[in-house]
Amino acid sequence: MAGGVQIDTDGVGDFGTGMQKQATNGFADIAGRGADLHRQGVGFGSRMTPSDIVTQAKVRYAEALAHAEANLRAYQTAAGILAEVAEQIAQQFSTVDLNSKQAQQQVEYLMATATAAANRALTLDPDGGPA
């Protein structure tokens, strides 16, 4: 098929299902464990006489934790977006003639839209967290 997109709809569907499981369970589990580990806040330096250096380090550490957790949530969102479009492509194109120009354009549109949405979910603000 010259110039066309070939889609293994079963493979794309399996990919989408697996990615959706990771987005729903995997990232959520990791984010939950991270939140549990850091729920008590920044513990180091608590038995020391407060100093500017320790205080600044604690603030930076807390900010880093917040950014890491925000990034996990953003990755979870992006994974969900990509999983959804993979499942959508598999469903919509399992019975169509992928040689048709309209089918090719629809696949390209779905992929471009999902990629743009996933990129927006992963875009970081100047402070290092999701925008």
How does residue 45 score in pLDDT terms, banded at 50, 70 and 90?
low
How does residue 124 score in pLDDT terms, banded at 50, 70 and 90?
low
How buried is 74 (Cβ within 10 angstroms: 0-12 exposed, 13-18 middle, 19+ buried)?
A: buried
Structure-token match 């990615």, residue found: 19
In whole angstroms, what is the distance from residue 63 CA to residue 102 CA? 48
For 79, other C-beta atoms within 10 Å of its C-beta total 20
Amino acid, res. 27: F
Q: How far is CA 41 from CA 26, 51, 70, in A?
A: 24, 18, 16
Q: What is the mean pLDDT of residues 103-115?
A: 84
How buried is 42 (Cβ within 10 angstroms: 0-12 exposed, 13-18 middle, 19+ buried)?
A: middle
pLDDT at 81: 87
Q: Between these two residues, 108 and 100, which has the higher pLDDT value?
A: 108
Q: What is the mean pLDDT of residues 4-10?
A: 67
130, pLDDT greater than 70: no
pLDDT at 9: 72
Mean pLDDT of the chain: 76
In whole angstroms, what is the distance from residue 78 CA to residue 60 CA? 26
Q: What is the mean pLDDT of residues 3-31?
A: 75
pLDDT at 83: 86
